[in-house]
Amino acid sequence: MKKILISIICSIMLFSVVFGQQKSLPDHFDINDVNDFDRLVMNPYSRNLDYAGTVMEGLSILTPAVLYAAPTEDYWKIGVEYAETVALAYGIKELCKLCVSRARPYMYFEGYPENKITEGDWDDSFISGHTTLSFAAASLTSFLFCQYFPESQWKVPVCITAFSLAGATAVLRLSSGNHFMTDVICGAVLGTGIGILVPWLNSLWIKPSYKNENFQMFFSPASFSVQFKF
C-alpha cells in the first residue's frame, strides 16, 4: 500500500504543472510590498549569474557520480534512489510554483528580462527549483556515501563539496535576481529532506520478493526492479 500511495503522489506532483495557468502581469511592482526579511537581499536580473547558477545546479546534480566507488551490485539500487529523489524534488517544486504565485525579485527593478514575461516565468519565484534539486542531490550523495563508506577519510570532503556546490547554486539564484531569501531557504530545507528521506525509506522498505543465482526481483517504495546476471 505504501508503494502504491507514494507512486500516486509522485505522479500527481510530476504532472501538476499541466494544470497551471499563467497569471496576469500587474501594472507595477512596489518594493515596499516585499516583507522586511526578503527585502534585505534583492537584486536586479543578471543573465551571466543566471547562467552560472544553472551550470552550478548541473554540477550539483552530478555529485552522486562519486558513488561509482560503491559495490557494482548496488549500482541499480543507487540509480533507482537517485531517480526517485530527483523526481520527487522536481514534482514538489513544480507543485509549489503552481500553488504559489510570487513575482521574482528582478520584477521590482528596471531592465527585467522581457522573455521571462513571455514565457510566464516571472511569477515562479517560490520555490527555488535550482536550490531544491541541488540540495536533494547533495544530501543524497552525503547520505549514501556515509552509508557505504562510514570509515572513509573522504567522507567529510565529499559532504562538504556536495553541499558547497548546492550552497553556491542558492547564492547565484539570489544574486541573479531570480529568487528571494525565503525561496532558497525553503528550497534548501526541502531538497535536503528529500535527499535523506528517499534512501532512508528505501533502506527500511526495500526487500527481495524473488531471488536466485541469476535473477533477482525487488520492490522499493516507488519502483519495481529486476536484475539479471549473465
Average pLDDT in the 173-182 region? Answer: 97
Reported confidence tier of residue 5, pLDDT bands at 50, 70, 90:
very low
Q: What is the pLDDT of residue 205?
A: 67
Q: What is the pLDDT of residue 157?
A: 96
Checking if the pLDDT of 12 tops 70, the result is no
- Please give the backbone phi and psi of residue 43, each rounded to the nearest 5 degrees, phi first: -135, 150
**H/E stretch holding 124:** none
Q: What is the pLDDT of residue 210?
A: 45
Higher pLDDT, 128 or 28: 128
Q: What is the pLDDT of residue 23?
A: 63
Average pLDDT in the 123-127 region? Answer: 94
Higher pLDDT, 171 or 219: 171
List, in order, residues 6 or more apart from 137 with CB less than 8 Å away.
Answer: 60, 61, 62, 63, 64, 85, 86, 162, 166, 191, 195
Q: What is the pLDDT of residue 229?
A: 53
For the chain, give the mean pLDDT. Answer: 85
Average pLDDT in the 81-98 region? Answer: 92
Q: What distances in angstroms separate CA 22 from CA 98, 102, 116, 222, one per listed residue? A: 9, 12, 12, 31
Q: What is the pLDDT of residue 2?
A: 47
In sign, the C-alpha dihedral spanning 98, 104, 110, 116 is negative
- Interhelix angle for 129-148 vs 181-205, to 10°? 40
Least confident window among 5-14, 49-58, 157-166: 5-14
**H/E stretch holding 228:** strand 223-228
Least confident window among 9-13, 33-37, 39-43, 166-170: 9-13
To 10 degrees, the CA torsion angle through 153, 154, 159, 164? 120
Higher pLDDT, 4 or 35: 35
With vertex at residue 158, the alpha carbon angle to CA 155 and CA 163, rounded to the nearest 5 degrees, is: 125
